[in-house]
């Protein structure tokens, strides 16, 4: 059981500012059901330009709920510049600390607030533009790029691969990107100390051979397993039963496997999920993501 502070438990059991705002000035959405955490944050400005109202909706664990609740309390009454200066560490400190394994929840809150402010200033519903060719995709499982991981490392003074996983989930699924995370950690130490030509280390601390030929390739993409069509059907059904159907059932929904044609999987939603306005998000963010993670990264899913 996680060792939560009394303040964290209070914000989990009695979350502040839960709900929606009619005609908000800014809205930010981060996370997904596939990751296990999802957060929507919105705010309304007063005549003085300060945040007069802020609300959130989250799907996640106790730390996600508590972090979101704390963030809204911290943001109330602040200007946008003051709110933008709230760090994930400040959110954790406000709660009296979070278990290191749950620090990614405070990171998610900060990113949601940034996305909401960005939405207010530009009208765009996403905070990140398409990455340039030099911003390498490091963790494909959680779609985390080099610049994002570097930022988490820098802002929280992280020193180990395990800490990076706790703070942003990178390396927490298939694990094949851990050596790349170790290189980013080594580079951060070099930048901090002002030295040059770092010797990259593996996740175990050993000196790397310096071969960067994997850079630019999807670091976390597992090799598709070789399966017969019957093995693929059985595995897909197992993943649906184990990873997908229980989550949908929480909201009164269901799902059935309809057909498999090569790498194309057809499913049908039932219950509350049938005809739901969020069906496409669920299809891509949960069903397809889980099947790609546990069956094959080349799978595509459609509703039929």
Pairing of strands 300-303, 264-271: parallel
- Catalytic site residue from 35, 141, 168, 273: 35
- Pick the catalytic residue from 61, 105, 139, 220: 105
Identify whether 177 is a catalytic site residue: no
Q: Distance between CA atoms of 74 and 72, rounded to whole angstroms? A: 5
* Cβ neighbours of residue 162 closer than 8 Å, sequence gap 6 or more: none
| Spatial separation of the C-alpha atoms in residues 281 and 287, rounded to whole Å | 9
Q: Is 273 a catalytic residue?
A: no
C-alpha–C-alpha distance, residues 74 and 252, integer Å: 34
DSSP labels, 244-295: IHHHHHTTTEEEEEEEEETTEEEEEEEETTTT-TTHHHHIIIIIIHHHHHHT
User: What residues are annotated to the active site?
Assistant: 35, 105
């Amino acid at each position: 059981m996680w060792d939560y502070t009394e303040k964290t438990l209070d914000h989990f059991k009695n979350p502040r500012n839960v709900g929606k705002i009619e005609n908000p000035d800014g809205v930010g959405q981060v996370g997904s059901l596939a990751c296990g955490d999802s957060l929507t944050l919105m705010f309304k400005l007063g005549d003085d330009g300060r945040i007069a109202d802020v609300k959130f909706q989250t799907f996640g664990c106790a730390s996600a709920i508590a972090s979101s609740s704390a963030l809204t309390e911290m943001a109330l009454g602040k200007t946008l510049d003051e709110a933008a200066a709230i760090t994930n560490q400040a959110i954790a400190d406000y709660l009296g600390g979070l278990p290191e394994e749950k620090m990614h929840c405070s990171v998610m809150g900060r990113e949601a607030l940034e996305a909401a402010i960005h939405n207010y200033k530009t009208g765009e519903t996403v905070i990140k533009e398409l990455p340039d060719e030099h911003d390498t995709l490091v963790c494909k499982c959680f779609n985390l790029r080099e610049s994002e991981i570097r930022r988490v490392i820098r802002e929280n003074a992280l020193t180990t691969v395990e800490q990076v996983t706790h703070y942003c989930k990178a390396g927490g699924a298939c694990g094949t990107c851990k050596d790349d995370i170790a290189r980013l950690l080594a580079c951060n130490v070099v930048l901090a100390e002002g030295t040059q030509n770092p010797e990259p280390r593996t996740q175990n601390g050993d000196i790397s051979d310096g071969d960067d030929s994997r850079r630019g390739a999807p670091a976390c993409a597992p090799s598709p397993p070789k399966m017969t069509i019957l093995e693929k059907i059985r595995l897909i059904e197992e993943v649906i039963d184990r990873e997908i159907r229980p989550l949908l059932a929480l909201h009164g929904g269901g799902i059935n496997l309809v057909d498999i044609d090569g790498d194309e999987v057809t499913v049908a939603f039932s219950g509350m999920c049938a005809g739901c306005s969020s069906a496409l998000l669920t299809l891509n963010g949960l069903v397809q993501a889980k099947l790609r993670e546990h069956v094959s990264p080349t799978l595509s899913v459609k509703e039929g």
